[in-house]
Amino acid sequence: MAGFSDKLELSENPKSSIFIRSLTMYNKPSGFYNSSFESMVSAGSSIKGKVKKLCSLFESSKTTTTTTKVSPPDESQSLSISKLKPAKSFAADSRVSSCLDDVSIRLPGTDDRVVIYFTSLRGIRRTHEDCYAVRMIIRGFRVMVDERDISMDSAYKKELLNVLGKKNVSLPQVFIRGKYIGGAESVKQLHEVGELARMLKGLPVRPPGYVCEMCGDARFIPCGECSGSRKIFDEDDEKLKRCPECNENGLIRCPTCCS
């Protein structure tokens, strides 16, 4: 009761009331801090225990993986693996044979040259890239190539469809010594295995850096009869008529490099 009376006596003085409130705010039981601290310690110890358990699990899995040993292959397995080693050459032979399956298709009058049917238009990106790639592959051997651009002359398209016997065909299409080779994939496969170089051996080779002086390797020149207008004046009928010498674009084949 002595402590309680001291608080009452102090409370009568108005100046000491502030100190009484501050003392009562922090006058907590001593067991409060001890219990909260113990709970925090126990929580921390429980988390550490869980972490140790997880670490022990990972360490055990690592030890099991490192201790596992790979058994050497049996003799039967090694024999089977050795038999499969020459599969690359077999695949190359199959690719070459697939490119040359249809030998019945021939382009008459082209036994001494390479003929490529392609398009110079860039309407379809994949077609343009295939045409360019095939032309660059064959030009790398420096052989004389008869390039027939169907976008410049529709007669080439009709000619190709008649030879292949189809209504629609993809570009490019290649003939070597009059024999049908195929499209871009066939030429690339033959080039990879070295068969294309053998097929082109013996063909006429043009000098390095050669460019046709007449057409600039464009394969076409303007018609000399109509000057590319596709029309000529008929004196007998006294009217304009369609020029019979040029194609639908008023062009003729270059007589120097496409003869």
In order of their start, the domains of the chain are 102-200 (3.40.30.10), 220-253 (no CATH)
Virtual torsion, Cα 156, 115, 131, 150, nearest 10 deg: -10
- How far is the C-alpha of 171 from the C-alpha of 150, rounded, in Å? 10
Q: At what angle do helices 17-25 and 2-12 cross, to 10 degrees?
A: 140
**Res 92 pLDDT > 70:** no
Lowest-confidence segment of 31-45, 78-92, 101-115, 180-194 by average pLDDT: 78-92
**Res 69 pLDDT > 70:** no
| CB-count exposure of residue 179 (10 Å: 0-12, 13-18, 19+) | middle
76-98: average pLDDT: 46
Percent of the chain topping pLDDT 70: 60
Nearest to 184 by CA among 171, 200, 195: 171
The reported pLDDT for the residue numbered 59 is 58
The model's pLDDT over 10-40, given as tens digits with 9 standing for 90+, comes to 444 544 444 444 444 444 455 444 555 455 5
- How far is the C-alpha of 61 from the C-alpha of 55, rounded, in Å? 10
pTM comes to: 0.62
The reported pLDDT for the residue numbered 78 is 44
Q: What is the mean pLDDT of the chain?
A: 75
For residue 180, name the pLDDT band (cuts at 50, 70, 90).
very high
Considering only residues 107 and 100, tell me which one the structure prediction assigns the higher pLDDT: 107
**Res 49 pLDDT > 90:** no
**Res 111 pLDDT > 80:** yes
The reported pLDDT for the residue numbered 231 is 93
